[in-house]
Amino acid sequence: MEHQAINPPELFVGKAFSQTYSVRAAERLIFLSGQVDCDREGRVRNPDDLEAQLKGTLDNIEIGLQAQGASMRDLVKVNIYVVDLRPEQLARIREIRSAYFDADRPPAVTLLGVERLAFEGLKVEIEVIAAQ
């Protein structure tokens, strides 16, 4: 299977995402439901702590991918939803997610600010698509 991340010179080059991403002859696509920083009983682990929740959420994504026999290297599309997103948070969000993503071939990423998420105290939710 061939993965290809291309950043056309006419578009902004991101530090932790690819502008375009393609997969040729994927045997399967893996879709993870939106993940949050909750334990197995559904309790928010780090209420109102964006950085801790971002790490916990990415850890949960790794668990979900491993259950499907995949890894973070297989990610092709990531949507990140942050409650009350502020510009001064962007650098830290990028730094944390970059520690989890393939540095040579990061997935396509969308980062959105939202008003609220499903549970009180949640600051971040992430949904992903992986290809193998």
Tens digit of pLDDT per residue, the chain (132 long)?
A: 788 888 888 887 777 788 888 888 768 899 999 999 999 898 999 999 999 999 999 999 999 999 999 999 999 999 999 999 999 999 999 999 999 999 888 999 999 999 999 999 999 999 999 999
Where does residue 103 rank: exposed (0-12), middle (13-18), buried (19+ CB within 10 A)? Answer: exposed
Cα separation, 114 vs 131, whole angstroms: 27
pTM of the complete model: 0.86
For position 26, what pLDDT does the model report?
64
Q: What integer pLDDT is reported at residue 35 of this predicted model?
A: 95
